[in-house]
Amino acid sequence: MFLRPLAAVCLLPLVLVPGPAGAQSFTTTDSVIRRIWQEGMERSQTERLAQVLTDSIGARLPGSPGMAAAADWLVRTYQSWGIAVRKEQYGTYRAWRHGAIHVDLIAPRVETLEAKVRAWSAATPGPVDGAVTVPPEPGADLAEWLGGARGSFVLVAAPEPTCRAHQELEQNARPETVERLRAQRESVVMAWNARLVALGGRGYAEGLERAGVAGVITSSWSGGWGVNKVFGAPSRALPAVDVGCEDYGLLFRLATHGQGPRLRVVVESEDLGTAPQFNVIAELKGRELPNEYVMLSAHYDSWHAATGATDNGTGTVMMLEAMRLLHTAYPAPRRTILVGHWGGEEAGLVGSRAFAEDHPAVLEGLEALFNQDNGTWRVELIEASGFARAGGNIARWVGLVPREISANIRLVFPGTQENMGSDHSSFLCRGVPAFRLQSAYDEYRQYTWHTNRDTYDKIVFDDLRNNATLAAMLAYAASEDPERVPRDRAVLPPDPRTGAPRDWVGCGTARRAP
């Protein structure tokens, strides 16, 4: 067996050999590792696959035609490679699609604004002109305000005092300026929340519907230049658009200074009822232990304001490409290798939770699951997810990976169960060894996670090739490992923010219908 004892993990079985310009080669005691490297790093298909998924198919909102198209494309792609694949329906979801959107300021001057439709928004009946207004201050006559708001577009988010990126402001402004702007923002948010409470709190949209407003305008700034996070509409009956930070501030200032802002808004959208929702499962059958499993994991749905390139097009392509590499270099694995392309992650981990609920035998035989769900950068962290003795297996697996990849990876044993908001937690909560392949997080959270800028051009393909090759190598190593990953749990370290003990991540129930 090729696996080294844990004491020898630091002695990677690789010797680098000079290669031709633009290529790297090495000698290794393991022919499968060599073939995976050559196929993944020298003949990668990641750019072609990512371009189709993000540019041609585009956004993959749960329940949308784009998500259905992505599932069918995954199936066709696996079939073209000769890999067994199936769609598994886990439920239904609200089906909706949007068309064109246009938001123009038409008074006191003319300007086209940067805007995105909110998910599941109602349509406008063609172009609609209306005044811009803000919610009433606490103590104002609400009935009178609602009567005057008919036919207007209501701003329902607190404006930002500045749309400069936080980190650049902190780097370049004086400390007292940073503190003043922080206090100003805090004051504005508190005052705005009081306005929304006066409007009806969380149920404010119902009052606006009854008042006959033309629509609602939101802005959910990410803290970075030109970037907003765009989520669902607050009402099924009202058109809802999200406007960029700068343009939203413009509308607020015009409205509060009595300068008569008016908008012309077009929102095309269509409620399609409900649609079946699917996970896509591909499989390489195990030659020796077919009822034990290694699983690659990534969700393929996305939010809709961009094309879901790094959340989670990169994870989708990474695991898709990893299966191609394995099929090419390791077509008869010792254990069965599965890949789960999960639907409904953005709706609450629905697809992965449903799979875990529906396949107890897979969970019983699961050696390891590797999940990726954050951004474009190289995988830099693998932790043992709180399993007391899983570190020995992980270290052996990583010990087979070429230094060009493994040198970037920090191993943390037993781990703290950070970042539990992705699909690996659907398995980890059931005591199954599920590991997150973690990339750099801060820039991803600010600039591409759920934003209007999550597009193909943000993908760094050197890193995506690296990550797909890594995933294939880890799956191979876990498949061949003579030892099952021990499932005994460590005592988790306290939460550093509160000092309180951490509990093992809990399981939610798959919400299989809207």
Boundary of a domain, candidates 260, 291, 318? 260
Boundary of a domain, candidates 229, 260, 291? 260
Domain membership of residue 233 (yes or no) is yes
Annotate 61-104 with DSSP letters as a single string. -TTSHHHHHHHHHHHHHHHHHT-EEEEEEEEEEEEEEEEEEEEE
Domain membership of residue 450 (yes or no) is yes
Range with lowest mean pLDDT among 21-25, 82-86, 178-182, 225-229? 21-25
What's at 11, amino acid-wise?
Answer: L
- Whether residues 66 and 133 fall in one domain: no
Tell me the whole-structure pTM to 2 decimals.
Answer: 0.93
- Whether residues 121 and 182 fall in one domain: yes
Whether the CA torsion 421, 423, 426, 429 is positive or negative: it is negative
CATH of the domain at 163: 3.50.30
- Whether residues 386 and 447 fall in one domain: yes
- Whether residues 68 and 142 fall in one domain: no
pLDDT tens digits along 191-237 = 999 999 999 998 999 999 999 999 999 999 999 999 999 999 999 99
Cis peptide before 493 (omega within 30 of 0): no
CATH of the domain at 329: 3.40.630.10
- Whether residues 236 and 293 fall in one domain: no
- Whether residues 430 and 328 fall in one domain: yes
- Whether residues 209 and 173 fall in one domain: yes
pLDDT tens digits along 33-65 = 999 999 999 999 999 999 999 999 999 999 999
Domain membership of residue 15 (yes or no) is yes
Domain membership of residue 502 (yes or no) is no
Boundary of a domain, candidates 202, 234, 260? 260
Angstrom CA distances, 72 to 271, 321, 399, 458, stand at 22, 16, 37, 25
pLDDT at 12 over 60: no
Q: In 232-288, at which residue ranges do the beta strands (DSSP E only) sit?
A: 240-243, 262-284
Domain membership of residue 16 (yes or no) is yes
pLDDT tens digits along 128-173 = 999 999 999 999 999 999 999 999 999 999 999 999 999 999 999 9
pLDDT tens digits along 359-377 = 999 999 999 999 999 889 9
CA distance 431 to 487: 7
- Whether residues 35 and 122 fall in one domain: no
CA distance 416 to 438: 13
Quick check: 87 and 508 in contact, CB under 8 A?
no
- Whether residues 214 and 281 fall in one domain: no
Cα angle, residue 465 at apex, residues 463 and 467 outer, rounded to 5°: 65
Give the alpha-carbon dihedral of 87, 79, 433, 459, to 10 degrees. -100
Mean pLDDT across the chain? 94
Domain membership of residue 504 (yes or no) is no
Domain membership of residue 318 (yes or no) is yes
Domain membership of residue 348 (yes or no) is yes
pLDDT of residue 11: 27
Q: Based on the number of CB atoms within 10 Å of its own CB, is 17 exposed (0-12), middle (13-18) or buried (19 or more)?
A: exposed
- Whether residues 85 and 140 fall in one domain: no
pLDDT at 444 over 70: yes
- Whether residues 114 and 139 fall in one domain: yes
Domain count, the chain: 2
CA distance 133 to 214: 11
pLDDT at 3 over 60: no
End-to-end distance of the chain based on CA atoms, in angstroms?
49
- Whether residues 255 and 401 fall in one domain: no
Range of the domain at 242: 109-260
pLDDT tens digits along 314-335 = 999 999 999 999 999 999 999 9
